[in-house]
Structure 1
Amino acid sequence: MNFDGVWTPVVTPFTQEGSIDFAALPPVIDSLIGHGIHGLIVGGTTGEYYALSNGERKKLFDAVSELAGGRIPLMAGINATTTEESLDLGRYAKSAGFNCILLAAPYYCQPTQDELLAHACTVDDALDMPTMLYNFPARTGTAMSFEFIDALKQRPNFQAIKESTGSIERMHTLTQDYAGQLQVSCGMDDQVLEFFTWGARSWVAGASNFLAPEHVALYRTCVVEQDMIAGRKLASRLLPMLNLLEQGGKFCQYIKYGCELAGLPVGPTRRPLLPLGEDEKAAFARTYEQLIAHRG
């Protein structure tokens, strides 16, 4: 499978009472598809999968699959604390029409590399789906070592990796030494220009929920047109926002507030994540308005 392009980890809309607001999903999905996003991810960190029950995650798979209607590739995030739950979610997503899966290390339990390998192979044997690995040890507690990646070389379903460590050195190794095995997808938004410069052709971007035109334009300029000078100008306009998101400590809250400013209200985050304060909203809004002032 080709993982080129901008993949949006879709936000999960909530009502003020905390239930999933399925009525808020259609405008989000239609906006992303209309702006040329290349793929949708349901069950990513931006979608607050960790705050959802197994049943809620399945309902989201069904809802987005129906709304997408075959117009765009769909990736299912199936991360969980146990292998069995990941398998259950993966089987359901496959039956719902998803094209591929996003697989991170089971969080909190901190498996060893051998245990992580056994987990990944079990999922692969059971689901037989194109897979993007998700290396985000700051969230999961477990890194995906190069030895782990080497051990998957003979398994063709493992086709890409979303790299979210922030290590430029590791990104260099993946793009230069593992290019024949895995597509590398940018998982650190404030490093996207570096990823594209070193050959990455994929970007999993939370802020594309509300800044899809800017994300697609940067991808097209850097990857399709290979114009890194023009790309640097575009990236420099995006960078204040990407820095705020990656370094502000309230990623999901900012993404959802960005959707609100873009005319796509998706409600609050689930507790324990609390709403933004008025000063935080004002600072974010200034950054957002300065960015979109360049549109057109």
Structure 2
Amino acid sequence: MNFDGIWTPLVTPFNQDGSIEFAALTPVIDSLIEHEVNGLIVGGTTGEYYALSNAERKKLFDVVAEQAKGRISLMAGINSTSTDETLDLGRYAKAAGFESILLAAPYYCQPTQGELLVHAYTVDDALDMPVMLYNFPARTGTEMSFDFIDGLKQRPNFQAIKESTGSIERMHTLTQDYADQLQIGCGMDDQVLEFFTWGARSWVAGASNFLALEHVALYRTCVVEQDMIAGRELASRLLPLLNLLEQGGKFCQYVKYGCELAGLPVGPTRRPLLPLSETEKAIFARAYEQLVAHRG
């Protein structure tokens, strides 16, 4: 499967009482398809999957599949604390029409690399779907080591990796030594230019929920047209906002506020995440307004 392009990890809209507002997904999905992102991910970190019940996650699979109606590629984030629940979510997503899965290390339990490999094999055996690995040890507590990746070489379904460690050294190793095995995807928004410069061809980008135009333009400039000078200019415009996302400690809150600014309201984050302060909103709004002012 070709994972090139912008993949948007969809936000999960909530009402003020914390319930999911499924209807709010429609304008977000339509906007992303209109702006020609390459795929949607349901159940990623940006979608606050860790705060959803198993039943809610399955309902989101159904709703997004129905609303997308075959207009765009769909990837299911199926991470959980146990292999059994991961399999349950994966089977449901496959039946709902999802084409690929996003697989991270089970969080909190901190499996060894050997245990993680058995987990991945089990998922592959059960689901037989294209897989994008998701290496985000700051969230899961477990890194996907190069030994682990080496252990997947004979498993053709493991086709891509979203790299979210923030390590430039590791990114270099992936792009230079593993490009024949895996399609490399940027998972650290404030390092996207570095990823594209070194050969990554995809970007899983939370802010594309509300800035799809800029994300698609940067991808096309850097990857399709191979114009890194123009790409650097585009990236420099995005960087102040991306720095707030990656370094501000409130990624999901900022993405949801960005959606509000873009006329795509999706409500608050689910507790324990609390709303942004007025000062935080003002700083973010200023960065957003400066960025979109260049659209004209």
Q: How does the TM-score come out when normalised to structure 2?
A: 1.00
Secondary structure at the counterpart of residue 121 of structure 2:
helix
Counterpart position of 1:143: 143
**RMSD across aligned C-alpha pairs, in angstroms?**
0.3
Equivalent-residue separation in structure 2 for 1:92 and 1:115 (angstroms): 24
Q: Which residue of 1 aligns with 2:256?
A: 256
Q: Shift of the alpha carbon at 1:171? A: 0.3
Distance (Å, rounded) in 2 between the aligned partners of 1:217 and 1:25: 23
Determine the C-alpha separation between the residues in 1 that align with 2:195 and 2:219: 11
- Which residue number corresponds to residue 214 of structure 1? 214
- 1:210 Cα deviation from its structure 2 partner: 0.4
Superposition pairs of residues 82-161 of structure 1, within 5 angstroms: 82-161=82-161
Tell me which amino acid in the other structure corresponds to 2:132.
Answer: M
Structure 1 moving runs of 4+ over 6 Å: none
* Distance in 2 of aligned mates of 1:295 and 1:52: 36
Counterpart position of 2:271: 271
Q: Name 1:233's counterpart in structure 2.
A: 233
For 1:173, the aligned partner's letter is: T
Question: Offset at 1:259?
Answer: 0.1
Equivalent residue, structure 2, for 1:280: 280
The residue identity in structure 2 corresponding to 1:9 is P
Displacement, 1:23? 1.0
User: Could you tell me how far apart the structure 1 residues matched to 2:158 and 2:227 are?
Assistant: 30
> Quick one: distance in 2 between partners of 1:249 and 1:10?
19
Q: CA–CA distance in 1 between the matches of 2:286 and 2:237?
A: 13
2: distance between equivalents of 1:170 and 1:217?
26
- The equivalent of 1:247 in structure 2 is 247
Counterpart residue type for residue 153 of structure 1? K
The amino acid that maps onto 1:104 is A
* 1:290 paired residue number: 290
Which residue of the partner structure matches residue 179 of structure 1? 179
Counterpart-to-counterpart distance in 1, 2:275 and 2:203: 27
Q: Give the drift of 1:157.
A: 0.1
Give the secondary-structure state (helix, strand or coil) at the position aligned to 2:259. helix
Gap runs ≥5 in structure 2 = none
Name the residue aligned to 1:27.
27
Deviations 1:1-57 (A, max 9, x none): 000000000000000111000110100000000011100000000000000000000
> Aligned AA for 2:3?
F
The structural deviation recorded for 1:197 is 0.2
1:48 matched to 2:48: yes
Q: Aligned-pair distance for 1:114?
A: 0.3
Which ranges in structure 1 are unaligned for 5 or more consecutive residues?
none
TM-score, normalized by length of structure 1? 1.00
Deviations 1:61-105 (A, max 9, x none): 000000000010000000000000000000000000000000000
Deviations 1:134-181 (A, max 9, x none): 000000000000000000000000000000000000000000100000
